[in-house]
Structure 1
Amino acid sequence: MNIFNLFKSKDNKIRMSEMVLMETTNRVYLKNLALNICINYVARTIANSEFRVMKDKRVERSVLYHKLNVRPNTDSSASDFWQRLVYKLIRDNEVLVVVTDTDDLVIADDFQRQRYALYEDRFTDVTIEDYTFQRSFMMDEVLYINYNNEHLSTFLDALYNDYGKLFGQMLDNSMRFNQFRGAFKFSDGGALDEDTFERQKKQVERLSQIFENNSVALAPLTEGIEIQDLSTNSAQRDESINNLVKMKRDMVDDVAKILGIPTNLIHGDVADLENTMEAYINFCVNPLMKLIADELNAKFFEPEEYFDGNYINIVGINRIDPLRNATAGDRLVSSGVYSRNEVREKFGDERVDDPEMDRYMVTRNYQYVDDDEETIEDNLVDSDEGGENE
Structure 2
Amino acid sequence: MGWLNLFKKDVPEPSFEFDELERIFGNLELKSLAVDKAAEFVARIFARSEFKFLDNGKKKPSNWDYLLNVRPNKNETASEFWQKAVYRLITKNELLIFLSDDDQLLIADSYIRQRYAVFDDTFASVTCREYTFKKSFKMSEVIFLQYNNNRLQDYFTQLFSDYEKLHTRLVEALSRNNQIRGVLSTKTNASFDEKKREKMQRYADGLFKSFTTKTVAIVPAQEGMEYSELTNTTGTSNLSVDELKKLRRQFDDEVADILGIPNALMHGDMANLENSQKMFNTYCYQSLVKKMTDGLNFALLSNSEYKNNKRIKIIGEGQRDKFALAQSIDKLISSGSMLINEVREELGLEAVPWGDKPLITKNYQLGEDIEKGGEKKDESDSD
1:152 Cα shift?
A: 1.5
Q: Rate the CA distance shift 1:192–1:169 in 2: closer, same or farther, 3 A.
A: farther
* Alignment partner, residue 301 of structure 1: 301
Greater helix percent: which structure? 1
- Tell me if the contact between 1:334 and 1:364 (Cα under 8 Å) persists in the aligned partners: no
Cα distance in structure 2, aligned partners of 1:273 and 1:199? 66
Cα distance in structure 1, aligned partners of 2:341 and 2:119? 43
* Alignment partner, residue 131 of structure 2: 131
Which residue identity is paired with 2:320? I
Q: Rate the CA distance shift 1:131–1:223 in 2: closer, same or farther, 3 A.
A: same
Is residue 2:320 matched to residue 1:320?
yes
Classify the secondary structure of the residue corresponding to 2:158.
Answer: helix
Classify the secondary structure of the residue corresponding to 2:270.
Answer: coil
Classify the secondary structure of the residue corresponding to 1:200.
Answer: helix
* Structure 1 length-normalised TM: 0.80
CA-to-aligned-CA distance 1:323-353 (integer Å, 9 cap, x gap): 111112222222233343433323222223x
* Alignment partner, residue 250 of structure 2: 250
RMSD across aligned positions (CA): 3.1
Q: Rate the CA distance shift 1:120–1:344 in 2: closer, same or farther, 3 A.
A: closer
- Tell me if the contact between 2:94 and 2:144 (Cα under 8 Å) persists in the aligned partners: yes
Classify the secondary structure of the residue corresponding to 1:135.
Answer: coil
Cα distance in structure 1, aligned partners of 2:227 and 2:83? 57
* Alignment partner, residue 358 of structure 2: 360
- Tell me if the contact between 1:48 and 1:79 (Cα under 8 Å) persists in the aligned partners: yes
* Structure 2 length-normalised TM: 0.81
> 5+ unaligned residues in a row in structure 2: which ranges?
1-13, 365-377, 379-383
CA-to-aligned-CA distance 1:51-105 (integer Å, 9 cap, x gap): 2111121112322122111111111111111111111111111011121112111
1:162 Cα shift?
A: 3.5
* Alignment partner, residue 5 of structure 1: none
Which residue identity is paired with 1:82? W
Q: Map 1:264-283; keep pairs closer than 5 Å.
A: 264-283=264-283
Q: Rate the CA distance shift 1:166–1:342 in 2: closer, same or farther, 3 A.
A: closer
Cα distance in structure 1, aligned partners of 2:34 and 2:55? 41
Q: Rate the CA distance shift 1:16–1:305 in 2: closer, same or farther, 3 A.
A: closer
Is residue 2:115 matched to residue 1:105?
no
Q: Rate the CA distance shift 1:349–1:168 in 2: closer, same or farther, 3 A.
A: same
Cα distance in structure 2, aligned partners of 1:88 and 1:134? 23
- Tell me if the contact between 1:30 and 1:160 (Cα under 8 Å) persists in the aligned partners: no
- Tell me if the contact between 2:56 and 2:310 (Cα under 8 Å) persists in the aligned partners: yes
CA-to-aligned-CA distance 1:355-384 (integer Å, 9 cap, x gap): 444433221589xxxxxxxxxxxxx9xxxx
CA-to-aligned-CA distance 1:248-291 (integer Å, 9 cap, x gap): 01101111111111222222223333332222211111111111
Classify the secondary structure of the residue corresponding to 1:159.
Answer: helix
* Alignment partner, residue 383 of structure 1: none
Q: Rate the CA distance shift 1:187–1:20 in 2: closer, same or farther, 3 A.
A: closer
1:144 Cα shift?
A: 0.9
Classify the secondary structure of the residue corresponding to 2:145.
Answer: strand
Cα distance in structure 1, aligned partners of 2:261 and 2:253? 9
Is residue 2:78 matched to residue 1:75?
no
Cα distance in structure 2, aligned partners of 1:74 and 1:170? 48
1:20 Cα shift?
A: 2.0
Classify the secondary structure of the residue corresponding to 2:17.
Answer: helix
> 5+ unaligned residues in a row in structure 1: which ranges?
1-13, 367-379, 381-390
Which residue identity is paired with 1:362? I
Aligned residue among 210, 221, 240 for 2:219: 221
Cα distance in structure 1, aligned partners of 2:218 and 2:87? 56
Q: Rate the CA distance shift 1:15–1:134 in 2: closer, same or farther, 3 A.
A: closer
> How many aligned residue pairs are there?
351
* Alignment partner, residue 262 of structure 2: 262
- Tell me if the contact between 1:53 and 1:59 (Cα under 8 Å) persists in the aligned partners: yes
1:28 Cα shift?
A: 0.8
- Tell me if the contact between 1:108 and 1:126 (Cα under 8 Å) persists in the aligned partners: yes
1:210 Cα shift?
A: 5.4
Which residue identity is paired with 1:120? D
- Tell me if the contact between 2:111 and 2:123 (Cα under 8 Å) persists in the aligned partners: yes
- Tell me if the contact between 1:98 and 1:105 (Cα under 8 Å) persists in the aligned partners: yes
Which residue identity is paired with 1:253? D
Cα distance in structure 2, aligned partners of 1:342 and 1:165? 53
Cα distance in structure 1, aligned partners of 2:93 and 2:350? 34
- Tell me if the contact between 1:293 and 1:313 (Cα under 8 Å) persists in the aligned partners: yes
